[in-house]
Amino acid sequence: MIAKRILIAGCGDLGAGIAPALVEQGHQVSAIRRTGLYFPSGVHGITGDLTQFSDEQLPDVDLIFLIMTPQEYNETAYRAAYYETATRIVERYRATQPQVFFVSSTSIYGQNQGDWIDENTEPQRPDSASSQWILEAEQVLAKALPSVAVRCSGIYGPGRYRLLKKVMSAESWDKNSWTNRVHRDDVVRALLHLASRALHGETLLAHYEVTDHTPVSMWEVKLCIARLLGVPANIPDNAQAFLPKTGKRISNKSLVETGFCFQYPSYVSGYLPLVEQYRQERSV
């Protein structure tokens, strides 16, 4: 493979995960993060707000990973992180047309009645303003650049312990619904896998759903975590409540058809090591 110039726009957890493999493959890798000076070895690091950079500050590249995270969880922050960043990428790179992989979210699907979602499903209007801005960022990129939206479901993995802590607390469980999960390491591997296909000249779809093989009810996930942690399951007595009436079930068929294999094909295989890691960190 001929070495390429690659930009990781958003070098947080996922960006730092893909960078070492790209460097090892011989690519010239640049990465941007809002704050901080740490970048993976072999990466040319740029610190600052991408939307404020001049054209000269943004390097000429052949491929971009756009992996944004809002600074706060409100509509204004989502607009800035996704829509405004995507708009700036288009302004800078419209003339040179690099391949873009945009880390999006399955939350852009507004379907909420247990619907099955696959690569042929047209998103209904998202039920939150934040998801609407993610969808609009997808559309801005798709209209101007060769882009692939990598729509991830709920990402879990090392350091992402919010759900584990909730199960350990005395909080009553929220209403049951369908949920879709994917391990952080599988997201990293999927990004590298799709980029490799593109760099080898393969034609990709406009978007892929990156989620494991097991859509599941949220209560089943919490029950699994409770058993692994050895804590009581705070569930109601009404068995009918176990049947989800809301949410969506997402198929990963299009990703699997590219030859991708999951390291963690279900939430069970993923939460087993995660719970053990959580225990070890708490005991230190």
**Spatial distance between the Cα atoms of 119 and 102, rounded to a whole number of angstroms:** 16
**Spatial distance between the Cα atoms of 260 and 189, rounded to a whole number of angstroms:** 9
Strand residue runs (E) in the chain: 5-9, 28-33, 44-47, 63-66, 99-105, 113-117, 147-152, 154-156, 178-179, 181-183, 207-210, 216-217, 247-250
Query: Is residue 258 included in any domain, yes or no?
Result: yes
Query: Is residue 76 included in any domain, yes or no?
Result: yes
Which range marks the domain in which residue 105 is found?
A: 5-156+181-215+248-264
- What is the tally of structural domains in the chain? 1
Give the least confident one: 86-100, 162-176, 206-220, 259-273.
162-176
**pLDDT tens for residues 51-71?**
999 999 999 999 999 999 999
Query: Is residue 252 included in any domain, yes or no?
Result: yes
Query: Is residue 124 included in any domain, yes or no?
Result: yes
Q: Given this model, what pLDDT does residue 245 score?
A: 87
Query: Is residue 164 included in any domain, yes or no?
Result: no
Contact 60, 195 (CB under 8 A): no
For residue 143, give both structure tokens: 């209209």
Give the least confident one: 121-130, 145-154, 189-198.
121-130
138: domain CATH number?
A: 3.40.50.720
Query: Is residue 221 included in any domain, yes or no?
Result: no
Q: Please provide the average confidence, as pLDDT, over all residues in the chain.
A: 95
Query: Is residue 30 included in any domain, yes or no?
Result: yes
What pTM does this model have? 0.96
Query: Is residue 271 included in any domain, yes or no?
Result: no
